[in-house]
């Protein structure tokens, strides 16, 4: 299964993706986590990405596509994966489609986690990540609506977009996801 989760920061993408990966036996690919890890390891990509992360902006597409391509080439990705936080721009989605097409493959589903902005802000305020400070949260939400939300139409046009009501408790959200990917 090759699945993408899309949703604003705080929608629960990471939690749901991790659970679904366990169930399906595929790797969880979070570009945010890859960047945070690169930063901890002190790599050049990590240092560069940190400036964007801490200002609530998206890291440049070429930088993201490089880490994604490298990760997808690893053996554990051959039978499926779940992306969480990628793609986040239309050029990233086009690049992913091209990569899959070259392998004669395609995405099975794109799950949109939909929830009210008030709930998002509450959830983010209770986390303790460095980029969850109020000013940065605001910027990240703006970036989501401007740069990532257009992906919903992109995937809707491909007929693979499925919407999950993500305001619900995590177990209920997970049940919705399971029934959507098996429908
Ligand atoms: P996340 O953990 O998915 O919320 O990502 C944290 C931060 O990493 C984002 O606010 C961006 O600065 C950066 N980031 C993660 N994934 C991407 C991506 N696909 N494209 C651009 N920037 C990204």
Q: Model confidence over 57-116: pLDDT tens digits?
A: 999 999 999 999 999 999 999 999 999 999 999 999 999 999 999 999 999 999 999 999
pLDDT of residue 127: 86
Residue 7 CB less than 6 A away from ligand 1: no
Count of all residues that appear for the chain in the document: 183
Per the domain annotation, does 75 fall within a domain?
Answer: no
The reply to whether 52 falls in a domain is no
Ligand 1 binding pocket includes 140 (Cβ within 6 Å): yes
Q: Is the pLDDT of residue 158 over 90?
A: yes
Calculated CA dihedral for residues 63, 66, 70, 71, nearest 10 degrees = 50
Cα angle vertex 28, ends 22, 29, to 5°? 175
CA of 85 to the centre of ligand 1 (A): 6
Range of the domain at 158: 2-29+80-178
- In-domain check, residue 134: yes
Q: What are the CA-CA distances from residue 6 to residues 95, 105, 159 (Å)?
A: 16, 20, 15
C-alpha 84 – ligand 1 centre gap (Å) = 10
Pocket test for ligand 1, best of 16, 32, 95 (most atoms within 8 A of CB): 32
Residue 39 included in any domain: no
Kindly report whether the global pTM for this prediction surpasses the value 0.85: yes
Return the bridge partners of 2, or none: 81
Number of domains making up the chain: 1
Cα of 35 vs centre of ligand 1, distance in Å, is 8
CB 177 within 8 A of CB 164: yes
Mean pLDDT of the chain: 96
- Distances from the Cα of 139 to the Cα of 3, 54, 82, 143, 181, angstroms: 27, 10, 26, 6, 31
Question: The tokens of 75 are what?
Answer: 């053996």
Q: Is 52 in the pocket of ligand 1 (CB under 6 A)?
A: yes
- Tell me, using a 6 A CB cutoff, whether residue 36 lines ligand 1: no
Within a 10 A sphere around the Cβ of 41, how many other Cβ atoms? 9
Q: Is residue 25 domain-resident?
A: yes
How many angstroms does the Cα of residue 140 sit away from the middle of ligand 1?
Answer: 9
Residue 9 is part of a domain; what is its CATH number?
3.40.50.300
């Amino acid at each position: 299964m090759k699945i993408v989760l899309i949703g604003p920061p705080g929608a629960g993408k990471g939690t749901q993706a991790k659970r679904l990966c366990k169930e399906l036996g595929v790797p969880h690919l979070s570009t945010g986590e890859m960047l945070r890890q690169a930063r901890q390891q002190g790599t050049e990509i990590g240092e560069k990405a940190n400036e964007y992360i801490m200002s609530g902006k998206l890291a440049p597409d070429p930088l993201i596509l490089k880490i994604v391509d490298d990760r997808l080439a690893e053996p554990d990705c051959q039978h499926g994966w779940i992306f969480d936080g990628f793609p986040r721009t239309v050029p990233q989605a086009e690049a992913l489609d091209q990569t899959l097409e070259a392998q004669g493959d395609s995405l099975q589903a794109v799950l949109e986690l939909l929830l009210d902005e008030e709930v998002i802000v509450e959830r983010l305020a209770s986390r303790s990540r460095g980029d969850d400070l109020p000013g940065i949260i605001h910027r990240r939400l703006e970036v989501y609506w401007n740069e990532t939300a257009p992906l919903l139409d992109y995937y809707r046009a491909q007929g693979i977009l499925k919407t999950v009501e993500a305001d619900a408790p995590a177990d209920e959200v997970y049940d919705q996801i399971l029934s959507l990917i098996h429908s």
